[in-house]
Structure formats: C-alpha cells, structure tokens
Amino acid sequence: MDHDEAADLLARYPRLPGSDVLRARGIQCGPGWRSVVHMLCELLEHDIDNGGARLQVHVIKEKLGSLRVQATDASDYQRGLIAFASRLSETICEICGDPVAEHRAPALPALAARCAKHVGDEVPR
C-alpha cells in the first residue's frame, strides 16, 4: 500500500482522523493486509460515530511481521481493536493475504508474515 492508498483510505473513512504524518508517509504495509487495515478503520470509525474517542492515527506500517498502528488519544476499546488487528495480521501473508505458513518454532518471534508460497519474499514496493 502506498501514499495514494492512504489518501483513498482516509477518503473512505472520512470521520477517522488521520494525521498529516499518515498522509505524508502513506500506509507502509503489503497488499495482503489491506482487508485487516480496512476492517480496523471501519471499526474505529464506527466507534467514533457512536461517541468513541476521536483518536488521531499517525502511522500504519509493518514491523517485525505484524501490523503496527500508532495513534494518540485512543480509548482502551480503540487500543484493543488496534491490538487485535496487529495480532490478526501475524496470521495473514502480508504479500497475498493467504494464511501464514507454520514454518517457524512458535517460541520464536515472527520477522515477516508470509504464506508457504512467499516465505523469504520481500513485499513489492
């Protein structure tokens, strides 16, 4: 996902406040996580529409195999949604959206979320 997709995302969820940092950096993760990012934005916007905190989303990116979302002024509920999306992303290939391959020892931290087909591949930028 890139700058244009960040603009599209913010246009699609107009009541989800994205910061200038998010607009400038774009969404820094692969296309396989598009549905997770959209689901998260939809739920955050729904919460705002129902009186939830007006959080500011600054960063949406991949780091060490999971989706990271940095936001300020988020409620406990909103932080829970973000944590759930982050954990969910670890089970989905960042490149194609297929389930992540069970190729690593569970005690080891994931460095990249990849299906069997994309193990070792870089996200196309």
Q: State the minimum distance, in angstroms, from the CB of residue 110 to Zn ion.
A: 14
HSE-CB for 101 with a 13 A CA cutoff: 14
Closest residue to Zn ion, based on beta-carbon distance: 93
**Interactions with Zn ion, residue window 17-56 (CB under 5 A):** none
Does 95 sit near Zn ion (CB under 5 A)? yes
| Closest of 94, 84, 79 to residue 30, by C-alpha | 94
Considering the rule CB under 5 A, would residue 118 count as an interface residue with Zn ion? Answer: yes
Q: Does 98 bind Zn ion (CB under 5 A)?
A: yes
Q: How far apart are CA 99 and CA 87, in angstroms?
A: 13
Residues engaged in binding Zn ion (CB under 5 A) = 93, 95-96, 98, 115, 118
